[in-house]
Structure 1
Amino acid sequence: MFAGSRMGLNGRFRAAAERLGRLMAERGIRLVYGGGAIGLMGVLAKSVLDHGGEVTGVIPDFLMTLEVGDPGVTELIVVGSMHERKARMFDLSDGFVVLPGGLGTLDETIEMATWKQLQLHAKPIIAVNVDGYWDSLKGLLGAVVAGGFAHPAMPSLISTVDTVDDVFDAAATAPLPGREILLSHLQGD
């Protein structure tokens, strides 16, 4: 799960995080997230816990020293760097849901999509497009294709839904990364 370390200005972002946490707990889905007690990520973790679910946080040591780690989660894993955090979260996750967030959320999402493009995994990546928050990301991915830097199917690496209620169906039906996304430019397309 990737989500902002800030709340954002739209109250629907918080509502989406709270609802997603409840839905995850009801389905018995363990949350793996960035380990912070702040922002949307903290709201999500608290919601999962409040509804009887389990939460694993993965946080770099330097963020723990800034006291943003959540000691109340089921399991808190402290790692040495942001790179280790992403790798550990990847290893522990069956898929990735993206709520609104900033550069860190964007970085994590793009890296998981890149790894998927490189055929390193086939896990679903679902962006929850609350009030059109991720429309610009969809536009950017389209511009990458239009500019000739990616196969036309590349944007499908990240599925987009409008509500958290649609996350689980989208995860179950997320397209697998086709090899053409990786290899088409090597074959003269």
Structure 2
Amino acid sequence: MSAEELAVEPLRAARRLLGGVLRSGPVALRIVEVEAYGGDPAGPWHDPAAHSGRGRTPRNAVMFGPPGVLYVYFSYGMHTCVNVVSGPDGTASAVLVRAGEVIEGHEVARGRRPAARTDADLARGPGNVGSALGIGLDDYGTRLFDPDAQIRLELGPEITDPAAVSVGPRVGVSLAADRPWRLWLPDSPAVSAYRRSPRAPKMDRSA
């Protein structure tokens, strides 16, 4: 198991993360929902919805680096979102961890997420993933396959059965809104609800 398993196109990397375990200190969660994001126009997977969609900046620079690195950012100035860099070194892409099931450190996660009504709510939604794991902006750039890292990623067996994974459009993006790059495990109670951005064009249902 190594970061090179994520040096693939965004959708395949997203599928590879499903069922894996993300650990941060005493808390561990099983990844049950993800979204794939590509990169800039010069790369093979141009994605206008990605932070890297217009090119490299100090904020998104890690997305252009080697796979298996943590990309963290603030959303709406209050939520820390957790992403795993994917694709070959030098080609921007990443996978957003949208939801997980807490499998270790429940008491710590509950202390960080007092508003959660059930254990399934602890890491449902990308902001809650960051809160439950206690991940902050200082963790940006962590190498997730380093055995000495405080935050570590453990990939599970690759899911090869198409029926075991549900696929749909990404949540809350106004650009490339219908790209089916959100993947989730349909049997998990921790999967978040789909919400389309009000700024996204209306979905064409005539096709």
TM-score of the pair, normalised by structure 1? 0.29
Structure holding more helix per residue? 1
Richer in strand (by share): 2
TM-score under structure 2 length normalisation: 0.28
Comparing both chains, which one has the higher relative contact order based on Cα–Cα distances under 8 Å and sequence gaps of 6 or more? 2
